[in-house]
Chains A and B, each alone.
Chain A
Amino acid sequence: MIKIFRHDEKDYPLHFWATQFITYIYLLYRLISRDYSVYGLINSDYFDYPRFITNLYPPKLTLELINFHWIYNILDYPTSDTIVIIQYILIIFSLLGLLGVFNKYTPIVCFFGYLHLTGFVQAATSEIDGGTVCILALFVLMVSNKKAFYTLFNQNKWLTTIDNRWPIVLLMLLIGSYYLFAGLNKIIDVHPLWPFTLHLDNLAIVMEERSIFVSSRYAEVTLAPLFKSEFISIFAGTITLISELGMGTLIFLPRYRVFFVINMIIMHIFVYYSTGINFLGSSLILILCVDWNCLVRKVRCYYDHDCGFCVKSVNKIKKYDIFNRVNFIPMQSLDQGKYGFKIEQLKNEMGLLEENGQILYGAYAFESIFEKIPIFYIIALIYKFPLVSYFADKIYKLVAKNRHLISRSGCKI
């Protein structure tokens, strides 16, 4: 179950390119939608870091050194027009990043530029504006090897390299820890039994009250009755807490990665509709925390050619494998011990060899096959939910044991 997502394996560029594309497009979307220039109208006296998270340490000695707000100790705070110019420059650079131009400098400008803009929010009213994971993704791009980026003019080739892999490990580590911290904070700041004290039923009342006044933060009042159930409150709290803590396992517990990510996305949706706080865009970066390259890695699948049922199943799967990701090979052609396979086990269960040399049998081999063939993606997704693979394994073993009864073609074993 525990399998370290290694940083030093060669991998395809799909995931990294997706990270590059999604991060820049999300940044671009944020920048053209939001208007930071309004902070240019606020009196500079008011930039006093009012939130307790930002001012636990003197902001001038920590935060301002990183987001370059220290320059306003020398210069005047910028006017709205200056902030508009900064925002336009960032829009241009995020477009360049999206197109894969100046890959060495674009992430640096976008990271520090966006951090600088967010600094106005932090100095004025709030510790975040929902863009933390975007900034973390930009940080990952900033420290990545520029050879890994897709480019507009000098197209990088579809090669497997380590440089495609370790930035993804870093992304999972940073995003995972960010959510893990939120989960740990719930335990430390509130209670280890946080789901039991969450009381969404009280939030439901707040939502109803908010819905009366136009001056209020958004609340979707039709959801309020759902939250009034104590069971739902405890259930939602438990799932949230488990998933937030589980996000810390992204790099070594691959099985539940999708489950945790989906739960976090659902949580963001509910937070939006119940409290009017928008983290929805973080979902885009969260999607990058699952292993995209599993879709393009090729596998070798060893099946029992003497079994009619197996041959029939393989032929059916082959029909849908439009990208030829799975190479089906009769196990009879395999020598004992080759690649680490056990022939005896192969007689009972289908075997699969991943590109990184990992061997899977039975239902787990099927899971990997489903990840490679688009028509089966949904099944591969269901596999990632807790206990599904356990039951799939049981069912597979039951079917494998009785395959001679199922198959009309007969099984020679």
Chain B
Amino acid sequence: MLKNIHSNRIYQIILISTVLGFITPIISLFSKLKSRTNWLNEIKEFIDNEQIISILNYISLIVPSWHYENSGLAAFHYYIKWSIYNLLILTLIILCRKKLLIIISRIKNLYKNNTIILSAIILCIFVFNSKVFLGFYFSGIPGWDYSNNRGFGSSSWGERQYISKQYIKKDKLIVDQKLQNLLLKGVNLQNAKNILTNTSIRGVVIVAHTVDAQYCINDGISGIVFPHRYVENNNKGPWLDIINYRLNKQKKYNTIWKKLRYPDHTVYMDIDEGIYNERENLIKIEYWDVEVTEIEDNIHITDAKLIYLHD
């Protein structure tokens, strides 16, 4: 079929992909916002105009919705920029139709004997412009930078909300010694000493309990890619079962294979190997929001708050 495809038809495919790439991000944005209960309030934070808000509200009524409550919403600028990019490309495609047809014709002639490669080229352009996700192929990893990511309040577990560094010297310990000793197992003391100088940092310590032992772990045990996305949205989900299931499997790995196996896509810090020798299953997992402070060359937990409990 593609062997005799006319350049005009290829041009039309590119045109359609560009139109899709222009329209879909906007529709998707509306669809996604609609699925969120507070979407109007979220919009109001950005647009302070009642008329525009009411127009947007009206549009949202006629836009179909295919998103779930938990559907990730990228920053608005992604959707806007994708649309603007495609609008520019659309303008170029229409204005430079003749030149584009010549290029298409040359490429078509070059690959006229191999429709698979010609199809792949058309697929590449279609996927990139339309931003359609085909599973085995998509429009590439999105771009980002670290310009607004100044470290404090932006890293570690849960990516954003759980770490914050404070330049306040603490000299009073409000966490009792037993809990302190337990939570300190979830802190790399050497790195903390090197990095914190008379300062505090907030982060998360995850404590896994068996009947008579405790271990500081991380979500990496689950083997799920970006597990915090799951935990954050499902703090009452079967997390304990997932961790126990994976732990029991990993306990069977021998030491050499543990080192040789291909690491998971999201790699986490090393945890206490003792947990792999534990015979008992975990009975609960606690997520503690802690404040780690360096006081006179020693590291202390100066504040601790239980944020999630899976039992």
Contacts and interface: CB of A to CB of B under 8 A. Distances in A.
Interface of A: 4, 7-8, 29-30, 32-35, 38-39, 41-43, 46, 48-60, 62-63, 66-67, 80, 111, 115, 118-119, 121-122, 124-130, 132, 135-136, 139, 143, 166, 169-170, 173-174, 177-191, 194, 197-203, 205-218, 221, 272, 276-278, 280-281
B61 interface: no
B191 A205 contact: no
A35 B230 contact: no
B218 A128 contact: no
B133 A62 contact: yes
A125 B271 CA distance: 23
14 contacts: A4-B110, A33-B261, A35-B246, A54-B133, A57-B28, A174-B137, A184-B128, A189-B77, A189-B143, A199-B149, A206-B146, A214-B185, A214-B188, A215-B269
A173 B191 contact: no
A85 B132 CA distance: 30
Contact of A52 (B78, B186, B271): B78
A254 to B, nearest CB: 16
A63 B133 contact: yes
A121 B225 contact: yes
A58 to B, nearest CB: 4
Contacts of A178: 137, 140
Given A52-B73, A194-B145, A211-B191, A174 B124 contact: yes
Given A121-B225, A197-B147, A212-B203, A135 B71 contact: no
Contacts of B261: 32-33
Contacts of A122: 135
B11 interface: no
A50 B233 CA distance: 10
A198 B145 contact: yes
Interface residues of B, number: 102
Contact of B242 (A42, A55, A186, A280): A42
Contact of B156 (A38, A188, A210, A278): A210
Interface string B138-158: 111111111101111011110
Contact of B25 (A56, A128, A139, A214): A56
B117 A215 contact: no
B262 interface: yes
A176 to B, nearest CB: 9
Main secondary structure of the interface of B (DSSP, over half): loop
B206 A57 contact: no
B205 A189 contact: no
Contact of B191 (A43, A54, A188, A221): A221
Contacts of A111: 136
Given A55-B71, A166-B114, A216 B268 contact: yes
Interface string B230-254: 1001100110011001100100000
Residue with the highest number of chain A CB atoms closer than 10 Å, among B116, B150, B270: B116
Nearest to B238: A41
Residue with the highest number of chain A CB atoms closer than 10 Å, among B77, B81, B135: B135
B249 A35 contact: yes
B274 interface: no
Given A170-B116, A215-B206, A62 B155 contact: no
Contacts of B195: 208-209, 211-212, 221
Contacts of B230: 42, 46, 124-125
A213 B145 contact: no
Contacts of A54: 133
A57 B224 CA distance: 24
